[in-house]
Amino acid sequence: MKMMHQFILCILIIQVSTVHCILDLMVSGKEMQKLLFGAKDEIKIVENGTISNFVESDVARTFPPIQPQYYEMKLQIKSKQMLYYTIHLESSDGTIMPTPTVTIPIVGRLSRQWIVFHIRFPCTGRKSGTVDMKMVFNFFTDSKRKDHYKKVKLTMKRQCQADPIENEVEPTGCQTKCDLENFRKRFCLSSFIARVKIVRVPNPNDAEPYYLANMKRLFKKPLSETTKRNQYIKAVQVARTCDCKPLEPNKKYLVFGREFRSNKTLYFDEYSVGYEIKTKEEKELVRKFRKIYRTIWCPRLLRYMFGGNNHH
């Protein structure tokens, strides 16, 4: 039991609001067996809305980080009353470990039954070092997420080791291709496609960074309702252009984005791309895409995953 308490202190620093909420969040016994070298007890991070006393001390920062061979952790969550949530994940150094990902939507609704999900945090393999992995869970009583119920913040130390082979290879630069053929492929792999003007880009210090974009034209319509001005687009990852530069305000792009269908949220991730429309040649390529996009046919599986050939 003492070893389990040390593990909790090692990886979790949790801040929670004082509002009571019937909520359970735990790490399974199987994960404990893997991460604690044989211990099989589960970690109840939150039990009936109460945070474990063992995870609130700053002593947690003195314990060793998660070792390089582990790259994900399995968690379970449920609520005895209707709650909505958001999840924000962050890495203190993206060159060592990229922003972690989660296997459930980052905006959604809890269930009375256990929801099993994974937080994944693979290393880049390019650089050795230790990073802070931050996870913030916010819970709300309303679907618009205005009535805040509880906040759970987890900070985990993560150690990474550079791959010696990868370390010897010099970067070859951006590999993203932007031409008509790749636009065809991205059409089927994107949930929405639009010509936009970026109004605001995400602030890395924001709890929930997002883009604001003025929608000039939709080439593939998402399930979510969209507005022409100040369209909210979640920044799961910082969207990048074809030459691997971040999207910038006051510039026009042809963007290929994604959508969480369960809660109808638009977002950008590492699979999204923005094609800047500035030069005469770039404008001409967008015009060509505008002429042919209605003829693009997507396989049934991709239509199911990302939406059909729905044009607007």
Q: Which residue has the higher pLDDT, 242 or 217?
A: 217
Is 137's pLDDT higher than 80?
A: yes
- 197 DSSP β-pair partners: 214, 252
Where does residue 64 rank: exposed (0-12), middle (13-18), buried (19+ CB within 10 A)?
exposed
pLDDT > 70: what percent of the chain?
70
Selected from 3.40.250.10, 2.60.40.2170, 3.30.70.270, 2.40.30.60, the CATH number assigned to the domain covering 23-160 reads 2.60.40.2170
Looking up tokens 């994944």 gives 120
* Residue 289 pLDDT: 92
Q: Express each pLDDT in 7-38 by its tens digit.
A: 443 344 334 444 455 777 766 656 655 555 44
Answer left, alpha or beta for residue 288, where phi above 0 means left and psi between -120 and 50 means alpha.
Answer: alpha
* Residue 197 pLDDT: 95
- For residue 232, how many other CB atoms are within 10 A of its CB? 14
Using alpha carbons, list the distances in angstroms from residue 233 to 116, 135, 213, 255, 304.
26, 20, 8, 11, 22
Q: Express each pLDDT in 36-93 by its tens digit.
A: 544 455 566 566 656 565 555 544 455 578 888 888 888 888 888 888 999 998 889 8
- Domain positions in the chain are 23-160, 180-307
Q: Express each pLDDT in 252-289 by its tens digit.
A: 999 999 888 766 788 888 778 899 999 999 999 999 99
Q: Note the CATH architecture for domain 180-307.
A: Beta Barrel (2.40)
